[in-house]
Each structure stands twice: as structure tokens, then as C-alpha cells.
Structure 1
Amino acid sequence: MRHRPGPRSMTSALDGVLARVEPKTPLARLQRVWPGVVGPVLTPHATPTAMSGDGVVTVTCDAAVWAQEMDLLAYELIDRLNAELGPGTVRELRCRATDSAAWARQRRPRRKTERK
């Protein structure tokens, strides 16, 4: 009878699966490290959506204020991303706000005349 090691954590099991199925592109690598680099506050509002061969990353933000915040943090984030991905991988962040994603999620308050 073979001795089996104890149970593995779900995280390590999923990391192994993800490593085998995710695309082997620079953008996929960037998207994988993105949450750890930008942190829990920015992650829900900013997503890397494109990456050119010369290291220009397009970041799509759900509101203009988040795109502006990303612009202000760009140099620091580029340094952190390159520390994870290798020197010179990311040269520039181009932050863009989506047309109206933030507004679509907000509920418009009713006027007093509309209430029943």
C-alpha cells in the first residue's frame, strides 16, 4: 500500500491547474500578478486589457477618477510590475475610463414626486 501525503490546500491545487490552462502571453502573465501588485483597493476598478510588444499596457478603469489615480501611481506600479515580470517588461501604463460602467451600476435616486 502506498503512503499518500496529507491533503493539499485548494490554493496550491488551483495554481497548478491555472498554470497549465492560462494562455502563455505577456498579458496573461501581467493579469495574473496584477491583483498582488496594485492591491485590493485598485483591483476591482482597474484591469489590464491590452499589452503591446514594446511594453505599453492599456488599463481599463470603471470611472475617470480611477484612471486618474492609476496615472498618478503609474511610475510606482511600473516598478512593481517589472519586479514581478522582469526588468523592462512594462514601459508605460495608459489608463482609460470605460464610457459609463460606473454610472450603470449606480441606482438613480427617486424624486419626491416619483415616490408612492
Structure 2
Amino acid sequence: MSDEIPETLATYLRLRGLEPRPTARRRRRRLDDDENAPFSAGRDPRGLGEVLSGWTTEVGWEHELSREDLVRRWAEVAGAETAAHTHPVSLERGVLTVRCDSTAWAKQLRLMRAHIVTTIGERFSEAGVEDVRFVGPDVPSWKWGTRAVPGRGPRDTYG
């Protein structure tokens, strides 16, 4: 092999103000490690679901994804009729808060709490739900903004 560089590359280097010099022979990298060896274990292509499952486990997203899956599948956990009158609001410190359309629905679901927590534990064990809290609809509040003054509130407002 010749150690001279092609004339086109030498011209380019001279125009750039660089000294053309002969190229060194490139060493070929040896594949000593088993990871890069062809036909070795672990080099077969995997399915997209398997790759994503391994990646989410590696990154640590399985708890968040399980929580999102619980909210998305709330109708399967609670039942279609119950899900029409309720929706999950938050999940903090192992307590799932569910807002109901009326206080009657909230009271009825409080009686069924053990069954719902068991169902959630079986289907969505990675979500970390330890308890479920059912709340009724919000009542109107007279407190507006961050600077609400504590006290008895408005009194002679209605007449």
C-alpha cells in the first residue's frame, strides 16, 4: 500500500492552510468481547413491547405508569355505573382520592371501600394504593385568592 494521500485531499488540506502528510495505517479493532461477537447470546432482535417494558423498569417509571393505568381503567375497577358518577382526583402517599357526584354516592362507596382496595391491589399492585378516600362534591367557598382572612366570613350578606 502506498503511504501517499490522494491529490484531492492534499489540495483541500493546502487550501485550508494545513500540511498534507501521509496517512497512518488504520488498525483494525479486534472483537474480543462477547458483547459484539456475532451470533452470541442476547443479540437476537426483541419485540417492541419487551424493549419498552425493560426500559421503563430500568428508568423506574413502572409506578407512575401503573398509576396512570389505574386512572385510565377506573371503569373496569369500579364498574361502569359507578364510574359514571365518580372519577379519581389524586393519588398521594398511597391514598387514592375519588370525587363523587353526590354525597350519597360517596357514602355508598365508603361502605364498599374494602372490595375496591382489594381489586386495585390485585390488578395494579405497582401503583402503591393502600387506601381509597371518597369525597362528595365541593361546596361553594367564600375564600378567594391566597390572602383570605380567617374568621367567621360574610354575615349580613343575604338580607
TM-score normalised by the shorter chain: which range applies? 0.5 to 0.7
Which piece of structure 1 moves more, 59-68 or 29-38? Answer: 29-38
Alpha-carbon contact 2:96-2:129 (below 8 Å) kept: yes
- The 2-side partners of 1:51 and 1:74 are apart by 15
- The 2-side partners of 1:90 and 1:83 are apart by 11
Deviations 1:67-105 (A, max 9, x none): 0111011110000011111167211111111136xxxxx
Q: Which residue number in structure 2 is paired with residue 70 of structure 1?
A: 109
| SS in structure 2 of the partner of residue 44 of structure 1 | helix
- Number of aligned residues: 76
Name which of 50, 58, 83 aligns with 2:122: 83
Q: Which residue number in structure 2 is paired with residue 46 of structure 1?
A: 86
CA-CA distance at 1:27 after TM superposition = 3.8
Alpha-carbon contact 2:106-2:136 (below 8 Å) kept: yes
- The 2-side partners of 1:66 and 1:58 are apart by 14
Alpha-carbon contact 1:50-1:58 (below 8 Å) kept: yes
Alpha-carbon contact 1:46-1:62 (below 8 Å) kept: yes
Alpha-carbon contact 1:33-1:84 (below 8 Å) kept: no
Q: Which residue number in structure 1 is paired with residue 12 of structure 2?
A: none
CA-CA distance at 1:28 after TM superposition = 1.8
Where has structure 1 moved over 6 Å in runs of 4 or more?
A: none
Answer 1 or 2: which has greater helix percent: 1
Counterpart amino acid of residue 108 in structure 2: E
CA-CA distance at 1:29 after TM superposition = 2.0
CA-based RMSD of the aligned residues comes to 1.9
| TM-score, length basis structure 1 | 0.58
The structure, 1 or 2, with the larger RCO (C-alpha pairs under 8 Å, 6+ apart) is 1
Larger Rg: 2
Could you list the runs of 5+ residues in structure 1 that have no partner in the other structure?
1-23, 101-116
- The 2-side partners of 1:33 and 1:82 are apart by 14
Q: Which residue number in structure 2 is paired with residue 10 of structure 1?
A: none
| TM-score, length basis structure 2 | 0.44
| SS in structure 2 of the partner of residue 75 of structure 1 | helix
CA-CA distance at 1:37 after TM superposition = 1.1
Counterpart amino acid of residue 39 in structure 1: G
Give the share of equivalent positions with the same residue, in percent: 25
